[in-house]
């Protein structure tokens, strides 16, 4: 799970494949692939789920156990990271701001 900060703002998103009531507001997250470090997985998931690049890890926030029921009866071990996205690339067209500064 990654918390991406750019210009002092936290990047969050909604999955368009699921209702807001079902999954709410999300931060990038996903699975660690075999042979992949938690750090590499955090950077990959941030790129894959946002379409942005140029992320850097600021720090590891911690590790937790998380019960994902009712979706699956499974306890997941989660690594959480604070990432920064430092460059100013053009945002992917699939991203829509939830609110604007102001």
What is the pLDDT, as a whole number, of residue 18? 78
CATH number, residue 79: 3.90.79.10
Percent of the chain residues past pLDDT 90, beyond the cut: 40
Can you tell me the mean pLDDT for 71-75? 83
Q: What percent of the chain has pLDDT over 70?
A: 84
| All residues at 6 or more sequence positions from 93 whose CB lies less than 8 Å from its CB, including other chains | none
Domain count across the chain: 1
pLDDT exceeds cutoff 70 at 50? yes
Instruction: Determine the structural domain holding residue 66 and report its residue range.
Output: 2-85
**Which tokens in the block code for residue 1?**
């799970």
Q: Is residue 31 part of a domain?
A: yes
- Residue 1 banded pLDDT, cuts 50, 70, 90: confident
Phi-psi region of 39 (alpha: psi -120 to 50; beta: other; left: phi over 0): alpha
Residue 72's SS3 state is coil
């Amino acid at each position: 799970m990654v918390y991406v900060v750019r210009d002092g703002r936290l990047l969050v998103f909604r999955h368009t494949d699921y209702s807001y009531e079902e999954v709410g507001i999300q931060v990038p997250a996903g699975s660690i692939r075999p042979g992949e470090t938690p750090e590499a997985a955090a950077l990959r998931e941030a790129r894959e789920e946002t379409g942005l690049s140029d992320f850097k890890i600021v720090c590891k926030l911690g590790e937790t156990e998380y019960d994902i029921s009712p979706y699956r009866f499974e306890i997941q071990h989660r690594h959480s990271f604070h990432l920064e996205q430092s460059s100013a690339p053009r945002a992917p067209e699939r991203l829509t701001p939830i609110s604007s500064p102001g």
